[in-house]
Amino acid sequence: MYEVRVRDKGFNVVAVLFPLQKGIQPSRISWDRRWRSAGQFELVIPLQTPYLDDLITLAHYIEIRNADDDSFEALYFIERTELLTGIVTYQQNIAAHTNAVYAAGQGTGTLRNLVVRVDDDGVTAIGRMETFCDARDVEMTEFNLLRQRADAKLAEAEPQGNFIARGGQPVAEELLRVTGRSLLLYTEKRIILPPPGDIPLADDVVDITTSEYDQDTDSADEVMKHYVDGHLINPGDAARTVNNFVNQGAIPPLANITYQGRFQAVLEALQEIGQLPTVMAGFEVVLNAADEFEFQVVPQRDRTIDSGHPVVFRSTDVLPDAPGREYRVDWDVGDLVTLEVTSLGTQLDLTIMQVRRELLVGVPDKVTIAFDTPNADALEQFHDAIVERTKADTRAARV
């Protein structure tokens, strides 16, 4: 059983959507957690729901907790609301919104010109969301032209509402759909700047003269936390700080690496590091006991059939989450587990990349597990098993 809470911008709980409360009857609630990217949340609720206007006006975050032990499950930032009436959908979407643009012109290394332009109203409304504009055609010292490029990028990314008409059967009742993403989106909306990455007084020209790259050499987990700290928690420009964001404490160190970043999103760097064969780790942002947004590195665990803690999913299973094979206890996103296709008599070791849950009234919640793409050897093994099964079926049909 889960509890789904609505929190406002100040992080106060303003409503509980599940278990069902008097007057609040969601049609559907679903969410997923992902190993190396921002998970997603969806709420569908009748438009005639009492107090819905207050709920939508105040809602900023969706928090999900395990109702049995009050343990944390997931946290989402609301990005999109959609009104569904008849065949028409009206949506307001801030998923692609940007309110801080870094534009870089000509120049090499530490001499490259860089300016930042900020939409202060947008930052106040939803927090700072950054992007990068590569303007190498702008000659050195042409700062006004760089500013114009950045301003144009800001104008393109302003939140907008739009209407969509879809053919087919109109919806039976007017509905509101609310979607959001996990707080990893902040790492997607932060650009890696070479140090010091701050702004000289009374100007929007960014100082990147210390080093060509933001580089770090350490265990992979500490390198990941380095980029989160330098661009979300303690950046050179204090205006880039994400309030209430912290790094996890020390974990058993992963392999040592050297990584250098420049002008890509922090999330891209985290994904590149996590995918290294010597590292194999993911990450997520959780709500810790102090109600802080805590970035955590999630190393892969071996849960294959030959490991000391085997987890085997079989094609004949009814429920993936079952006694003796419990979600968040025996297996979780990022774990390497064994998938057995019983009818083919074959087993594949696969990584759990995503877990999706859907709350349904009066019945057990629905669980869906998405695995990574098998390697070439595993795919060949699976293909051979299908061929052998087909041959056997053909021989049996001829008897």
DSSP calls for 267-293: HHHHHHHHTSTTT-EEEEEEE-TTS-E
189: CB partners within 8 A, 6+ apart: 98, 128, 129, 130, 131, 265
24/16 Cα distance (integer angstroms): 9
4/66 Cα distance (integer angstroms): 9
Residue 354 confidence (pLDDT) above 70: yes
3-state secondary structure of 147: helix
pLDDT for position 75: 97
Mean pLDDT of 278-291: 97
239, 118 contact by CB (below 8 A):
yes
Give, for 240, the enclosing helix (H) or strand (E): none
Residue 85 confidence (pLDDT) above 60: yes
95, 186 contact by CB (below 8 A):
no
Per DSSP, the chain holds a count of helices (H) and strands (E) of 7, 22
Mean pLDDT of 40-44: 94
Separation in Å, CA 336 to CA 222, 272, 303, 346, 372: 23, 19, 5, 16, 10
Q: How crowded is the C-beta side of 311, counted as CA atoms within 13 Å?
A: 24
Residue 94 confidence class, pLDDT cut points 50, 70, 90: confident
Mean pLDDT of 221-244: 97
Q: How crowded is the C-beta side of 389, counted as CA atoms within 13 Å?
A: 12
The residue count of the chain comes to 399
Residue 204 confidence (pLDDT) above 80: yes
Measured torsion, CA atoms of residues 120, 123, 126, 127, in degrees rounded to the nearest 10: -170
What are the CB-based long-range contacts (under 8 Å, 24+) for 92-96? 92/159, 92/160, 92/161, 93/159, 93/160, 93/161, 93/162, 94/126, 94/159, 95/181, 96/157
367: CB partners within 8 A, 6+ apart: 319, 320, 321, 327, 355, 356, 357
293/246 Cα distance (integer angstroms): 6
pLDDT for position 378: 74
246/172 Cα distance (integer angstroms): 45
> Cis ω on the peptide bond leading into residue 196 (within 30° of 0)?
yes
Least confident range from 80-94, 97-111, 129-143, 242-256: namely 80-94
Residue 299 confidence (pLDDT) above 60: yes
Which two structure tokens, joined as six digits, stand for 346?
Answer: 């074959």
Work out the mean pLDDT of the chain and round it to a whole number. 89
130/100 Cα distance (integer angstroms): 5
Question: CA angle, corner 227, sides to 236 and 373, nearest 5?
Answer: 155
55/7 Cα distance (integer angstroms): 10
36, 370 contact by CB (below 8 A):
no
300/222 Cα distance (integer angstroms): 16
Going 67 to 70 to 73 to 79, the CA torsion angle's sign is positive
Residue 399 confidence class, pLDDT cut points 50, 70, 90: low
Mean pLDDT of 25-50: 89
Residue 332 confidence (pLDDT) above 90: yes
Residue 269 confidence (pLDDT) above 90: yes
pLDDT for position 108: 86
Higher pLDDT, 136 or 378: 136
43, 28 contact by CB (below 8 A):
yes
259/279 Cα distance (integer angstroms): 13
Mean pLDDT of 228-237: 97
Separation in Å, CA 145 to CA 9, 60, 171, 203: 36, 36, 49, 15
203, 117 contact by CB (below 8 A):
no
